[in-house]
Structure 1
Amino acid sequence: MKTYDLIVIGSGAAGMIAAIRAARDGKSVLLLEQQEKLGPKLKATGGGRCNLTNTLDNSDFMNSFGRNGRFMMDAITLFDYKDLMNFFKEIGVDTHIPDGFRVFPITHNSSTIIKALEEELIKQNVEIRCNTKAQTLLFEGEAIVGVQTLDDKFLSASVVVATGGLGYPMLGANGDGFTFAKELGHKVTDLYPAMLPLISKEKWVENCKADTIAKAELRIDLPKAKKLKAVGDLIFTSKGIRGPVVLDFSREVTPFLEKHGEVPLIINMIKGKNEEEVRVHINNEIKNNPDSSVLENISSLVPPSVAKALCILSKADTNKKFKDLAGQIRDKLIKNLVSTPLTIIDHVGFKQAMITRGGVSLKEINPKTMQSKIIKGLYFCGEVVDLDGPCGGYNLQWSFSSGNLAGKLLDF
């Protein structure tokens, strides 16, 4: 049985940087990865392009994670997006900000990131063991003492759990970190898939699947969710909706879906315009082209396939002139334009969820160290804890920041 200063379980962003940080501080480190290669989920991040972080200031960044966001104050202050960019520059990876907000490696290839991290692990003499699954965390009293794998026992007074969430099980996600936490007395909050496509009851979406709606606004039409909303690009699919705004908002939808069985959404597909603004727009269209049909008129606001679907939903004759529509039907069509109803009845599950909502309770983790308040020497970082943010580099930055803090092995 070999003894190490630190054992890290999991080779995602959080795990690899935790190992590097500790090794740079002179610690002997063992990194355990159950898959054949390092960083399996990191490789798929951002469709393989690896959106590392973004340029939000620390306060706005934390606010993007909701009510739990302030927990990351120490981790982000110690290692923000500028520090992350500098770190990668140190290990040979140049980054850039092509849209002024999102940070990518200039190769736009996650393999570049994984290769650089692996080379730095080797340079810092981190012992890497792939195809090695941690079975149990070993402890004595209220202190960690090591890790048991299928074939070996490794000793250490410090263990970092960086096993990620439940998303993409084909890449090795299996919830081991949550199991370890529970076995050692930690509370794990309810877990939900997040950042994933949603499936609707309505079938008309299939006829609109070639269209993208820019700056769509999504709301949940339930009493306890009136304040929840998201704005961004919406894409219709053969079974429902996806796109950046759906990925961001799905974390709010999935808990309600589990509770209620279906979730009514209200979608504004016309860049936030209200009913009066739509009436003014339509009247201007009629003045410019008095003979235009209802479909032509509505298509000036949304793509033709969506316009047709909304006309059918409102029982409006697409070939009629807008001015010839009955007042009740005209009002219903305008209302459906401004507040399109869509009922979510399912999602694609953890198999396509980029992120897990929920995790190890933050109340039982010291934010200044990422160490457990229950078991001495046990650290949690990355997606395994109860923090998740929108798409756009938020979750990777959190993984790097929390992993960096955990790897410092602070104890106070």
Structure 2
Amino acid sequence: MNKKNTYDVIVIGSGAAGIISAIISAENGNRVLLLEKLPQIASKLKATGGGRCNLTNTLSNEEFISRFDKNARFMRDAIEAFDHNDLINFFNSIGVETHAPDGYRVFPTSHSSVTIIEALKNKMSEVGVVLMCSQKVEQILVEDGAVSGVKTKTALFYAKNIIIATGGLGYPTLGAEGDGYALASTLGHKITELYPAMMPLQTKEQWVKNCKADTIAKVELRVDLQKHKKVHAKGDLIFTNSGIRGPVVLDFAREVTPLLQVYGEVPLLLNLTKGMNEDKILKHLKNIMQKTPNLNITELLKTLLPEALSIELCLLSGINPQDSINKISGASKDKLIKTLAWTPLTVVGHDGFKMAMITRGGVDLGQIDPKTMQSKLVNGLYFCGEIMDIDGPCGGYNLQWSFSSGYLAGKLS
């Protein structure tokens, strides 16, 4: 064995999870090698939050975990070991000030991911992490049921502990190729079905392109399928040339993409009127009519929605947008009120992993010890971050999970 290439710990992947696991492990006195297949570290972290880097949020641990729904129980040990307060304190200790301008989402005060990456890079150097870029791991070596090293395109490196932190399939332009799944699968780990998540959605309806200039606040989305009536989300929505996007859509996409694979298209219902039901919408419109009785229907609806959207919802209800409310039949009025309360829309596609911020699915959690992030199948093998079958909504959830799971994996000694 080449002693020069021998370490205590090898970390594969230099995203948030990989970097913090390397730092924590090195702080524990280990000789740590961090291998990155790209020429530079943290490419996806650099792009996070449009480059602003929403690190975490201020929710309590219980509420934070509850937002992950499936597999949330698996997270508890990692979150309790390293929660948002610990993360904020960690960054403060390496010279990065943070704040929560809206009281919820936590950013570096610079609002630049470059600040985060530079501080992490400096910390790795300080604690002695050996960083090697342009080193793609092709194989994890195993002897007698335990890891012994890795093989890259150019070299062999040896260690009794290996952490896989390669991330998912989202944003292949930033290096995502799913190589971590292949490595884990080769060692006997089950990989659940993988879906693109946190991305815009494409709709069958073409009218959406006429409404793309406006952001609609506090929209509620629901799946209109009998078996999936409980699937819903709330937040700001933006219409696009080909469908919908915005924070609520990014959250909702992780629920919709698996359904698309099953059904081919997914009917939705959208409440675009800030949660108003039919009775409240009707009462609102009557109050406006009493004050200004000469408004046409578009002018009336503009008290609730942007003009372009008001026009499209009129057309969707079979109403001339320029007509006076008094000229509209009772049946047409009823249809308009129902359409305002729950606007139908049909998701028919998406742009796949090239536009997906995260991946839904990953290494089966049943084969990982949640207290240590160690494989139950191979001694000395650890996982952290997005490669595992855990994904959360927008708002710092996925990055906090990466840091928390990376912290726990890094404490392996």
For 2:387 and 2:70, locate their aligned partners in 1 and report how far apart those are by CA, in whole Å.
17
**Residue matched to 2:187:** 184
What percentage of residue pairs aligned between the two structures are identical? Answer: 58
Letter aligned with residue 40 of structure 1: S
Question: Deviation digits for residues 123-173 of structure 1, max 9, x if unmatched?
Answer: 111110001100011112321111110111111110000000000001100
Aligned to 1:67, the other structure's residue is in SS state coil
2:238 paired with 1:249: no
**Residue matched to 1:64:** 67
Q: Report deviation, 1:323.
A: 2.7
2:162 paired with 1:196: no
Letter aligned with residue 39 of structure 1: A
Aligned to 2:80, the other structure's residue is in SS state helix
2:248 paired with 1:235: no
Which of 89, 93, 107 is residue 92 of structure 2 equivalent to?
Answer: 89
2:409 paired with 1:406: yes
Segments of structure 2 that go 5 or more residues without pairing to the other structure are none
For 1:171 and 1:318, locate their aligned partners in 2 and report how far apart those are by CA, in whole Å.
46
Segments of structure 1 that go 5 or more residues without pairing to the other structure are none
Letter aligned with residue 310 of structure 2: A
Q: Report deviation, 1:67.
A: 2.4
Question: Deviation digits for residues 189-213 of structure 1, max 9, x if unmatched?
Answer: 1100000000111000000000111
Aligned to 2:40, the other structure's residue is in SS state coil
**Residue matched to 1:354:** 357
For 1:401 and 1:54, locate their aligned partners in 2 and report how far apart those are by CA, in whole Å.
13
2:321 paired with 1:302: no
For 1:340 and 1:83, locate their aligned partners in 2 and report how far apart those are by CA, in whole Å.
43
For 1:247 and 1:393, locate their aligned partners in 2 and report how far apart those are by CA, in whole Å.
13
2:150 paired with 1:150: no
For 1:48 and 1:319, locate their aligned partners in 2 and report how far apart those are by CA, in whole Å.
44
Which of 123, 129, 132 is residue 120 of structure 1 equivalent to?
Answer: 123
**Residue matched to 1:328:** 331
2:354 paired with 1:340: no
For 1:289 and 1:339, locate their aligned partners in 2 and report how far apart those are by CA, in whole Å.
26
Q: Report deviation, 1:259.
A: 1.2
Letter aligned with residue 48 of structure 1: G
Over aligned residues, Cα RMSD in angstroms?
0.8
Letter aligned with residue 256 of structure 1: L
For 1:27 and 1:140, locate their aligned partners in 2 and report how far apart those are by CA, in whole Å.
21
Provide TM-score, normalisation by structure 1: 0.98
Letter aligned with residue 190 of structure 1: E
For 1:66 and 1:98, locate their aligned partners in 2 and report how far apart those are by CA, in whole Å.
27
Which residues in structure 2 correspond to 1:202-213 (within 5 Å)?
202-213=205-216
For 2:321 and 2:49, locate their aligned partners in 1 and report how far apart those are by CA, in whole Å.
40
Question: Deviation digits for residues 344-375 of structure 1, max 9, x if unmatched?
Answer: 11112111110000110111100000000111
**Residue matched to 1:267:** 270
For 2:227 and 2:356, locate their aligned partners in 1 and report how far apart those are by CA, in whole Å.
24
For 1:348 and 1:117, locate their aligned partners in 2 and report how far apart those are by CA, in whole Å.
32
For 1:333 and 1:298, locate their aligned partners in 2 and report how far apart those are by CA, in whole Å.
10
**Residue matched to 1:284:** 287
Moved over 4 A (4+): none
Q: Report deviation, 1:276.
A: 1.0
Letter aligned with residue 57 of structure 2: N
Aligned to 1:329, the other structure's residue is in SS state helix
For 1:109 and 1:380, locate their aligned partners in 2 and report how far apart those are by CA, in whole Å.
28
For 2:112 and 2:56, locate their aligned partners in 1 and report how far apart those are by CA, in whole Å.
14
Which of 74, 78, 82 is residue 79 of structure 1 equivalent to?
Answer: 82
Aligned to 2:70, the other structure's residue is in SS state helix
The aligned length equals 410
For 1:319 and 1:392, locate their aligned partners in 2 and report how far apart those are by CA, in whole Å.
41
2:174 paired with 1:171: yes
For 2:297 and 2:406, locate their aligned partners in 1 and report how far apart those are by CA, in whole Å.
56
**Residue matched to 2:22:** 19
